[in-house]
Homo-oligomer: A and B are copies of this chain.
Amino acid sequence: MKKLINEPAGVVTEALAGMGAAHPELRIDLENRIVYRADAPVTGKVGLISGGGSGHEPMHSGFVGLGMLDAACAGEVFTSPVPDQMLEATKSVDSGAGVLHIVKNYTGDVMNFEMAAELAAAETGTEVIQVVTNDDVAVKDSLYTAGRRGVGVTVLVEKLAGAAAEQGRPLKEVADVAQLVNDNGRSMGIALTPCTVPAAGKPTFTLAEDEMEVGVGIHGEPGRATVKLAPASEIAEMLMEPILSDLPYKAGDNVIAFINGMGGTPLLELYLMFGEVARILKGHGIEIARSLTGSYMTSLEMAGCSVTLLKANDDIMTLWDAPVNTPALRWGV
């Protein structure tokens, strides 16, 4: 295992401490492993919280700030945070307007966020709505989920619901935006290599030198099939066909196209993949209204990528263009 770390057990806390040193505009609760925007709770604004296992950076801590999350809870690598973290974050970001929990559909995460919501309601009467993302078309159920896994659309939900909250919309409307984005978003990913969780010290799965995993999960969970390595043009078809047919997307639709790197894939290759995805969309008469290309929801150093398409209406595009000021996404401020 070759990593820039000290002790495997200290990785998450040390990385959060480093993040605090790099971003004085954030407030880090190291004991509870929570990253806050420094001005939380923001008076009158719905609070947005997400979180999950570490190892997917910049998701979620890199999306904390104006126009996105008020707080992110960090679990151990690829392990859900615990309810106490979510409870603490929920109480801390509630200014009285209520709190939205954005939760990727993994059994542990969903259960722990639900428990935190119940505790917050009981302790302080905080109103919480939970929106669960489940955009991965690769598999019906999986290693860690009942139903589809929550993947790339989570980044878009955090941006778009975050913008809606910043506009002053009430909790129910912010949650509606989050739900709409999830319902109109679909994703699928591919891995060329596995990754190694520091505490485990060895790769999470194996792939031969000429193999790739189609439909892989963001923790290296199995996808649809392990197949022979293929050219980028064919890989793009393998990802796009299940996505396009699922909603379905149709000619004339405007989409936000998000090409996400899994962590170990160079940006050069991600842009090449964007070109392949754009070609396929053009063939279907689908318009790319906005886009995002980069490693925003990673699986440590895994090589590979995922494609997320979100069918976008005018409100979605206005929310996308709204100012955001986080470590990983920043514009308009």
Contacts and interface: CB of A to CB of B under 8 A. Distances in A.
A15 B209 contact: no
Contact of A272 (B14, B58, B257, B325): B14
A226 to B, nearest CB: 13
Interface in A261-293: 263-276, 278, 288, 291, 293
A22 B303 contact: no
A252 interface: no
B5 A209 contact: no
Given A266-B57, A300-B266, A333-B331, A272 B11 contact: yes
A310 interface: no
Interface in A17-37: 17-19, 21-23
A84 to B, nearest CB: 22
Count chain B CB atoms within 10 A of each CB in A15, A233, A267, A325 and give the residue with the most. Answer: A267
A52 interface: no
A267 B22 contact: no
Contacts of A124: none
Given A268-B57, A300-B268, A293 B22 contact: yes
Contacts of A266: 55, 57, 263, 298, 300-301
Interface in A217-258: 229, 231-233, 235, 257
The complex is assembled from copies of this chain, and their number is 2
A85 interface: no
A284 to B, nearest CB: 15
A330 interface: yes
B275 A18 contact: yes
Interface string A286-317: 00100101010010110111000000000000
A268 to B, nearest CB: 5
Contacts of A4: 192, 232, 235, 265, 269-270, 272-273, 304-305
Contact of A229 (B2, B18, B293): B2
A274 B2 contact: no
B17 A275 contact: yes
A291 B24 CA distance: 10
Contacts of A133: none
A54 interface: yes
A264 B301 CA distance: 6
Contacts of A3: 192, 269
Given A18-B271, A332-B333, 5 more contacts: A4-B192, A14-B272, A21-B275, A23-B291, A55-B268
29 contacts: A2-B192, A4-B192, A4-B232, A4-B235, A4-B265, A4-B273, A4-B305, A5-B269, A6-B231, A6-B232, A6-B272, A11-B272, A12-B268, A14-B272, A15-B272, A18-B272, A18-B273, A21-B291, A22-B257, A22-B259, A22-B291, A54-B268, A55-B268, A57-B268, A62-B267, A264-B301, A267-B295, A293-B327, A295-B295
Interface of A: 2-7, 11-12, 14-19, 21-23, 54-55, 57-58, 62, 77, 192-193, 209, 212, 229, 231-233, 235, 257, 259, 263-276, 278, 288, 291, 293, 295, 298, 300-301, 303-305, 325, 327, 330-333
